[in-house]
Amino acid sequence: MDAIQIDRVSKAFAGTQAVNDVSLTVKKGELFGLIGPDGAGKTTLFKILVTLLRPDQGKAQVNGMDVVGDFRKLRPLIGYMPGRFSLYPDLSVEENLSFFATVFGTTIAANYELIRDIYVQLEPFKNRRAGALSGGMKQKLALCCALIHKPDVLFLDEPTTGVDAVSRKEFWDMLHRLNERGLTILVSTPYMDEAGQCDRIALMQTGQILAVDTPAGVENLFQKPLFAVKARETYRLIQDLRAAPFTETCYAFGEYLHLTSLPSVTAEIIRDYLIQKYHEAVEIKPIKAGIEDSFMALMQHHGEGSQHG
Amino acid sequence: MEKAVSTDKLTKRFGDFVATNEITFDVAQGEIFGFLGANGAGKTTAIRMLCGLLRPSSGSATIAGFDVYRQTEQIKQVIGYMSQRFSLYEDLTVRENIRFYGGIYGLPKAELRRKSDEIIQQLDLGGVADKLVASLPLGWKQRLAFSVALVHDPRIVFLDEPTGGVDPITRRQFWDMIYEAASRGTTIFVTTHYMDEAEYCNRVSIMVDGRIKALDTPAAMKQSFGVDSMDGVFQILARGTSTK
């Protein structure tokens, strides 16, 4: 039995198709990532899976139970950390945790083992009001509250949004440790660089799934020639490369620009073109696509993105 | 040329807590300056002082030559500000938002009309100019918010995590706009959690526990820390200090 099974699920709000005919399977014990920007439909899909919203069409099962028909039996088996901070700000750290434990008919002591690593960092502040915690601490407390009834499947909706790069890395380390204990985790994020942390990922955009694969598999979906290009004047370089006859797309990627070219274009052709335009310190190398390259190519393939232009 | 930002030992204390601790740096006119740091490192406090919204405890700073203690009203005229969370009125139309912000900055009527048409045309929003901002996709809103932050031709614009949550193509289109504004001489002061965006800046500072721990070009910073990405630099500097 799979941990999560989604079969042609759709959900619309006031004319907006938030989730559009989505099918997806998450295996038991997987750390599965839902990758996509705001408005992709990630949160709506989460709410359907944790029995807070009914789908307009389609069926979904978690741990073999239907999210509509079996919602009462299902709720104790899942943990859910919503994207917005949703603990009680006027209760202390400890009171929040014990509240959630009690609601699920258990105690902090009974399942302490599962949250120990995370909760020890919070314990010095256990009498502080949850509303007065820093962002990173709130996030850790919310994770503890989602875990305290020892769920089989954990749903984390954008746990790292707005969190700095160091704290994000720590959070993923925590997820890996939980996953190693056998917990199935479905996590969403708008940060493409986090996709590589997952066993498998689904790329989502405007309610649809663009691709489902391992991170390496998604990278391999990118089939066109790709070059990393750099020169002294970045802004002029982007403009010149976009105007070049051999260019399909050209986007900034950190220190380099990523240039997707027509077939049979070589680094020499690109270099000659740039030297004619008086670019200095030109550096060009063929590279392998990353997840973000694939995502952008898939977005364009689906006719998105370009309309934003 | 006059500096867009110049600070000397700028400090803000809240009781015993030193949120911003003797930060000293300059930003040149037309520069894209990345202001990085972990959550809670003191970035927001520093930005509020630079915008003339929060009186420093000690030290000095000027924005486009204006003093952050005595000339806060002049500062507000020469800066633009855009945050991820709130910049536009969702219940006003595209055109009304532009007119509202232009009006606040005292743009004359004719100028306001010209600016509105220019922004709507540049962003290709002609078809939705009289639609409520709430109905626009996030990426469009963010690009409109940026244009609105520039409506009064500020010398410097502060961008507080401007690209959070947008798709990768829109994120890059947003940076195209930043480059274009900088090439016209506007100084860009930007915070972000995307480390690839740190690479797009001319220079970057990294704040840790209220202090500026490093300030240089991305290339020089990577070299001095012996790593190949800004994420690497950030992980070294900010590790173990960010979670409190």
So what's the pLDDT on residue A309? 35
So what's the pLDDT on residue A213? 97
Contact: B39, A134; criterion CB under 8 Å: yes
So what's the pLDDT on residue B138? 82
Average pLDDT over residues B34-46: 91
DSSP A63: T
Question: Among residues A22, A26, A24, which one has the least CA distance to residue A58?
Answer: A22
One-letter amino acid for residue B76 of the chain = K
For testing the chain B interface, which of A255, A283, A307 should be mutated: the one with the most B CBs within 10 Å?
A: A255
So what's the pLDDT on residue A16? 87
Please check whether residue A37 lies inside any domain of the structure: yes
Out of A166, A296, A299, whose CB is closest to B239?
A166
The minimum CA-CA distance between B106 and chain A, rounded to whole Å, is 30
Name residues 167-196 of chain A within 8 A of B (Cβ): 167-170, 190-193
So what's the pLDDT on residue B61? 97
* pLDDT confidence tier of residue B243, bands split at 50, 70 and 90: very low
Contact: B165, A38; criterion CB under 8 Å: yes
Q: How far is it, in rounded angstroms, from Cα B28 to Cα B186?
A: 10
Average pLDDT over residues B87-113: 94
Please check whether residue A300 lies inside any domain of the structure: no
Domain identity same for A256 and A206: no
Contact: B138, A38; criterion CB under 8 Å: yes
Return the residue of A nearest to B135 by Cα. A16
Domain identity same for A99 and A75: yes
So what's the pLDDT on residue A306? 40
For B242, how many CA atoms within 13 A lie in the half-sphere containing its CB? Answer: 24
The β-bridge partners of A227 are A259, A286
Residue numbers in A near B243 (CB within 8 A): 121, 134, 136-137, 166-167, 170
Q: Give ipTM to 2 decimals.
A: 0.81
Domain identity same for A245 and A141: no
The minimum CA-CA distance between A189 and chain B, rounded to whole Å, is 9
Contact: A162, B193; criterion CB under 8 Å: yes
- Of the residues A173, A205, A220, which one is the last residue of a structural domain? A220
Residue numbers in B near A170 (CB within 8 A): 243
So what's the pLDDT on residue A308? 42
The minimum CA-CA distance between A254 and chain B, rounded to whole Å, is 4
- The pairing of strands A226-230 and B211-216 is unpaired
pLDDT digits (tens, 9 = 90+) for B157-207: 999 989 888 889 989 999 999 999 999 999 999 999 888 899 999 999 999
Mean pLDDT of chain A: 93
Please check whether residue A19 lies inside any domain of the structure: yes
Report DSSP letters for B121-161, one per residue. Answer: HHTT-GGGTTSBGGGS-HHHHHHHHHHHHTTT--SEEEEES
Contact: B39, A300; criterion CB under 8 Å: no
Handedness of CA A161, A31, A209, A304 (dihedral sign): positive
- Using the Cβ of B184 and the Cβ atoms of chain A, whether some distance falls under 8 Å is answered with no
Contact: A166, B38; criterion CB under 8 Å: yes
Note whether B88 and B80 are within 8 A (CB): no
Please check whether residue A307 lies inside any domain of the structure: no
Domain identity same for A212 and A84: yes
Predicted confidence (pLDDT) at residue B86 exceeds the cutoff of 70: no
Domain identity same for A27 and A120: yes
Residue numbers in B near A38 (CB within 8 A): 138, 165-166
- Using the Cβ of A121 and the Cβ atoms of chain B, whether some distance falls under 8 Å is answered with yes
* pLDDT confidence tier of residue A86, bands split at 50, 70 and 90: confident
CATH of domain B27-238: 3.40.50.300
Average pLDDT over residues B5-34: 96
A187: CB partners within 8 A, 6+ apart: A31, A32, A33, A34, A155, A156, A159, A175, A198
The minimum CA-CA distance between B78 and chain A, rounded to whole Å, is 25
DSSP B227: -
- Using the Cβ of A164 and the Cβ atoms of chain B, whether some distance falls under 8 Å is answered with yes
- The pairing of strands B17-28 and B3-14 is antiparallel
A44, A79, A135, B106, B132 from A142: Cα distances, Å: 20, 10, 11, 46, 35
pLDDT digits (tens, 9 = 90+) for B220-239: 999 999 999 999 999 999 87
Domain identity same for A134 and A240: no
The H or E element containing residue A94 is: helix A93-103
pLDDT digits (tens, 9 = 90+) for B106-159: 999 999 999 999 999 999 999 999 999 998 888 889 899 999 999 999 999 999
How many folded domains does chain A comprise? Answer: 2
pLDDT digits (tens, 9 = 90+) for A94-150: 999 999 999 999 999 999 999 999 999 999 999 999 999 887 888 899 999 999 999
So what's the pLDDT on residue A303? 64
Name residues 94-113 of chain A within 8 A of B (Cβ): none
Both tokens of residue A255? 């220190």
Out of A164, A299, A308, whose CB is closest to B238?
A164
Contact: B40, A162; criterion CB under 8 Å: no
* Cα Rg of chain B, angstroms: 18
Please check whether residue A51 lies inside any domain of the structure: yes
- Using the Cβ of A275 and the Cβ atoms of chain B, whether some distance falls under 8 Å is answered with no
The minimum CA-CA distance between A267 and chain B, rounded to whole Å, is 22
Name residues 38-57 of chain A within 8 A of B (Cβ): 38-40
The minimum CA-CA distance between B170 and chain A, rounded to whole Å, is 7
Q: How far is it, in rounded angstroms, from Cα A258 to Cα A247?
A: 11
Please check whether residue A152 lies inside any domain of the structure: yes
- Of the residues A196, A220, A244, which one is the last residue of a structural domain? A220
Q: How far is it, in rounded angstroms, from Cα B43 to Cα B59?
A: 16
Contact: B138, A234; criterion CB under 8 Å: no
CATH number assigned to the domain comprising residue A262: 3.30.70
Domain identity same for A62 and A101: yes
Residue numbers in B near A164 (CB within 8 A): 37-39, 193, 234, 238, 242
Mean pLDDT of chain B: 92
Handedness of CA B46, B48, B51, B53 (dihedral sign): negative
Contact: B200, A170; criterion CB under 8 Å: no
Domain identity same for A203 and A60: yes
Domain layout of chain B by residue ranges: 27-238
Q: What is the largest CA-CA distance in chain A?
A: 73
Domain identity same for A142 and A19: yes
The β-bridge partners of B159 are B82, B190
Burial B178-199 (b: 16+ CB within 10 A, else e): bbebbeeebbbbbbbbbbbbbb
CATH number assigned to the domain comprising residue A105: 3.40.50.300
pLDDT digits (tens, 9 = 90+) for B199-215: 999 999 999 999 999 99
So what's the pLDDT on residue A255? 85
Q: How far is it, in rounded angstroms, from Cα B50 to Cα B48?
A: 5
Average pLDDT over residues A230-243: 93
Contact: A36, B229; criterion CB under 8 Å: no
A303: CB partners within 8 A, 6+ apart: none
Could you list the residue range(s) of the whole structural domain that residue A262 is in? 226-288
- Using the Cβ of A268 and the Cβ atoms of chain B, whether some distance falls under 8 Å is answered with no
Report DSSP letters for A156-176, one per residue. Answer: ESSTTTT--HHHHHHHHHHHH
Predicted confidence (pLDDT) at residue B69 exceeds the cutoff of 80: yes
Q: How buried is residue A27: exposed, middle or buried, by Cβ count under 10 Å (0-12/13-18/19+)?
A: middle
Q: How buried is residue A134: exposed, middle or buried, by Cβ count under 10 Å (0-12/13-18/19+)?
A: middle
So what's the pLDDT on residue B137? 84
